[in-house]
Amino acid sequence: AQSVSQHNHHVILSEAASLELGCNYSYGGTVNLFWYVQYPGQHLQLLLKYFSGDPLVKGIKGFEAEFIKSKFSFNLRKPSVQWSDTAEYFCAVNSGGGADGLTFGKGTHLIIQP
């Protein structure tokens, strides 16, 4: 069975600080990897995804993530956060075929202080 581990449950940063949220998964086969964001009171939106090709993927709002296969990791980064990045961030994985549901990490609650 797949599992996803997010290292930080709560992160507090000041505006303009750099962000890195850790994500590790356990699955030996081909995977699709996703980062979703949930702004307060809203539904989940896709930030970025990786399934093949360049392991450094860029998403919306200046976010990027790097897939490191040897470490089973897919960490999310942003060079300079804004107050509007305050949200819950979820790392998720499913198997190569893509029909299965997503396995989510427990989420990271990010608070950006102005």
Partner 1 sequence: NAGVTQTPKFQVLKTGQSMTLQCAQDMNHNSMYWYRQDPGMGLRLIYYSASEGTTDKGEVPNGYNVSRLNKREFSLRLESAAPSQTSVYFCASTPLMGSGRGNEQFFGPGTRLTVL
| List of residues 6+ apart from 63 with CB closer than 8 A | 35, 47, 48, 76, 77, 78
Distance CA 95, CA 9 (A): 25
In angstroms, what is the minimal distance from the CB of 24 to partner 1? 14
In angstroms, what is the minimal distance from the CB of 16 to partner 1? 29
One DSSP character per residue, 63-81 reads -EEEEEGGGTEEEEEESS-
Contact flag: residue 11 with partner 1 (CB under 8 A): no
Which residue stretch of 11-19, 20-28, 60-68, 100-108 sits at the interface with partner 1 (rule: CB under 8 A)? 100-108
Q: What are phi and psi of 71, to 5 degrees?
A: -105, 0
| List of residues 6+ apart from 87 with CB closer than 8 A | 37, 38, 39, 40, 110
Nearer to partner 1, 16 or 111 (CB): 111
Which residue stretch of 20-28, 68-76, 78-86, 93-101 sits at the interface with partner 1 (rule: CB under 8 A)? 93-101
Nearer to partner 1, 54 or 114 (CB): 54
Contacting partner 1 within 20-59 (CB under 8 A): 30, 32, 34, 36, 42-46, 49-52
